[in-house]
Amino acid sequence: MVRCFIGIFIPNEKAEKIVDVQKQIQKLPITLKFVERENLHICLSFLGDLKEEKIKEICEKMDMICKRYKKFEAEISGIKFIPSENYVRVLALDVKNNMLETIRKNVKNEIGGDSKPLHLTLGRVKKIENKKETIEKIKKIDSNIGKFTVEKISLIKSVLQKTGPIYSSLHDSFLL
């Protein structure tokens, strides 16, 4: 069994900007488990544990979905509090693009898995001190990461370690 999800890795120059946002958040009275720089991604669908024989079928479906779309730009901007500001479990960046949202829905409908609205997780919240004040400070952080070109979606293997997960691409499906 292989633990997998379908997602998009973030280009290096955008990852640097995201790490800068994480560093600004780190200065505040909030305790998080940040996503490591090399693991920054946009998840389209979490598939969980897959049998080896299922992987080939999923890769073929991903290729079919990607053949319907040309490369396009998506924008990462704005901090999201998941599930809400009142009960923050995850800090994320908003990902804006109707085409990418359509692809996410196609992946969910044609492949399955657990799919959430588009976002890029910054970290999982463990504790927030002075919650209202800290959230207001987080909102003021410049989180405009900018646009990047979506060229492919990837089937990503996730190996859990004590230090955090290690992600690697099992298959890349390229847009036209």
Residue 41 designated active-site: yes
Structure-block tokens of residue 83: 């599930």
In the DSSP assignment, the letter for residue 76 is E
The active-site residue, picked from 61, 119, 157, 171, is: 119
Q: Which amino acid type is present at position 29?
A: P
Distance (Å, rounded) from C-alpha 172 to C-alpha 6?
Answer: 10
Structure-block tokens of residue 62: 């991903």
Structure-block tokens of residue 176: 């036209």
The active-site residue, picked from 22, 25, 41, 44, is: 41
Q: Which amino acid type is present at position 18?
A: I
In the DSSP assignment, the letter for residue 104 is H
Active-site amino acid positions: 41, 119
